[in-house]
Structure 1
Amino acid sequence: MEKVAFRQMKEGTREEYVFLERLDDEFNQGLVDRILVALRNLEQSLSGYQVTRLEHSLQAAARAEADGADDDMIVAALLHDLGDELAPYNHSQLPAAIIRPYVRGEVTWVVHHHGLFQQFYYAHHFGGDPNERDRYRDHPWFQSCVDFCERYDQAAFDPDYPTPPLEHFEPVLRRVLSRTPFDPAVIGEEHSLEA
């Protein structure tokens, strides 16, 4: 079989879906390679800073690594701005969706909310509320997101910070994204991303 015969999903046979599942599995083996390409594309996005968006991402991951963060948080720091190109108005949610099957819920929540929490540093310049993040103050992962933003994200715009190349982080990216998706032993207790 080279292609399925159905034109509507409800018409598909078991044989067709087994065939498609095999193709999906083969395609999914290239996830890390596609993410590496997307990270390299950040080299060309969002001008005006002293570092490129890729350098910012690498520096955030380097800061997490130097801080003794675990693999989940290092990958989160590396990928946290991956949505800048394709989802500029909700850039945090795109990388959160990508990592959600592979990391503990806390890390997904932090990445999902980091855009809002980052406003603490600049919203007042535009008449916004820098403390908007406080609506999540009672959430168990509030402080984790505050710490992520303070230690890794907002600090990662320094052109003099010793920052390794993308290849340095490829092994940790492959380790984390090769996990069994949605393994309860990894992702832990599910919490709503909004709560």
Structure 2
Amino acid sequence: MKTVNFTEMKDGTKEEYLMLDKHEQNYINGTADRILKFMGGLNATLEGYKITRLEHSLQTATRAFKDKANEEMVVAALLHDIGDELAPLNHSEYAASVLKPYVSNKTHWIVEKHGEFQMYYYAHHLGKNKNQRDKYKDHPYYQDALNFCEKWDQASFDPDYKNMSLEDFTPMVKKIFSRKPYSLL
């Protein structure tokens, strides 16, 4: 495989960067496959839950799908907790960052803020502010984030729920991640 000659980026030539850009585009095109592979590995759970992280994600996405949410939102529901593994203290922002180039501002905002909105269901049991989400009451997507959490996310910890499979969502994930990034539109 051809490689660049430089050892410092400032010394790279146009030809080298064009060659690297081609490789980068090929890598970007494989994002959906890498995400699906990662999702398939979420078979462990945080101790104490009745289901795995994968099952929670599949349940959340299945509920969104059954509610006739658009494909972008179904994929966001599937991936909303993708940051749990590597960024447990800011998992919402992590997931939103993965989705950001491919989804609307609305979907990005909902995923980014869902962690704070979810606090409504449990924070008071831990001596924290369950109404953390109220600071966003005047935001245009406030009600959408509220609905995301109430109808899909917080309700998706049921070991008896019949969710769709990761394979069922694969075409949607591939479609969303094959879009031209919003930043380039």
User: Do the two structures share a fold, i.e. TM-score over 0.5?
Assistant: yes
Task: Please give the alpha-carbon distance, in whole angstroms, between the structure 1 residues aligned to 2:75 and 2:178.
Answer: 12
CA drift at 1:184? 6.5
TM-score, normalised by the number of residues in structure 1:
0.91
Task: Please give the alpha-carbon distance, in whole angstroms, between the structure 2 residues aligned to 1:45 and 1:2.
Answer: 42
Task: Please give the alpha-carbon distance, in whole angstroms, between the structure 2 residues aligned to 1:173 and 1:152.
Answer: 18
* Alignment correspondent of 1:38: 38
Q: Residue 65 in 1 paired to residue 65 in 2?
A: yes
* Alignment correspondent of 1:192: none
Contact kept in structure 1, 2:116 and 2:133, CA below 8 Å = yes
Task: Please give the alpha-carbon distance, in whole angstroms, between the structure 2 residues aligned to 1:45 and 1:180.
Answer: 34
* Count of residue pairs brought into register by the alignment: 185
Contact kept in structure 1, 2:57 and 2:77, CA below 8 Å = yes
| 1:130-176, Cα deviation, whole Å (9 max, x unpaired) | 00111111111111111000011000011121111110000111111
Task: Please give the alpha-carbon distance, in whole angstroms, between the structure 1 residues aligned to 2:47 and 2:126.
Answer: 20
- Give SS of 2:42's match: helix
* Alignment correspondent of 1:18: 18
Task: Please give the alpha-carbon distance, in whole angstroms, between the structure 1 residues aligned to 2:131 and 2:23.
Answer: 47
Task: Please give the alpha-carbon distance, in whole angstroms, between the structure 2 residues aligned to 1:37 and 1:48.
Answer: 25
Task: Please give the alpha-carbon distance, in whole angstroms, between the structure 2 residues aligned to 1:68 and 1:76.
Answer: 14
Contact kept in structure 2, 1:102 and 1:180, CA below 8 Å = yes
Contact kept in structure 2, 1:42 and 1:82, CA below 8 Å = no
Task: Please give the alpha-carbon distance, in whole angstroms, between the structure 1 residues aligned to 2:183 and 2:174.
Answer: 16
Moved over 4 A (4+): none
TM-score, normalised by the number of residues in structure 2:
0.96
Task: Please give the alpha-carbon distance, in whole angstroms, between the structure 1 residues aligned to 2:26 and 2:174.
Answer: 16
Task: Please give the alpha-carbon distance, in whole angstroms, between the structure 1 residues aligned to 2:184 and 2:123.
Answer: 37
Provide the identity percentage: 50
- Compared with structure 1, are the counterparts of its residues 45 and 6 closer, same or farther at alpha carbon in structure 2 (3 Å cutoff)? farther
CA drift at 1:7? 1.7
CA drift at 1:45? 3.4
**Structure 2: segments with no counterpart, 5+ residues:** none
* Alignment correspondent of 1:9: 9
Task: Please give the alpha-carbon distance, in whole angstroms, between the structure 2 residues aligned to 1:151 and 1:120.
Answer: 14
* Alignment correspondent of 2:49: 49
Q: Residue 133 in 1 paired to residue 154 in 2?
A: no
Q: Residue 159 in 1 paired to residue 163 in 2?
A: no
CA drift at 1:183? 5.4
CA drift at 1:101? 0.7
- Give SS of 1:179's match: coil
- Give SS of 2:161's match: coil
Task: Please give the alpha-carbon distance, in whole angstroms, between the structure 2 residues aligned to 1:145 and 1:9.
Answer: 42
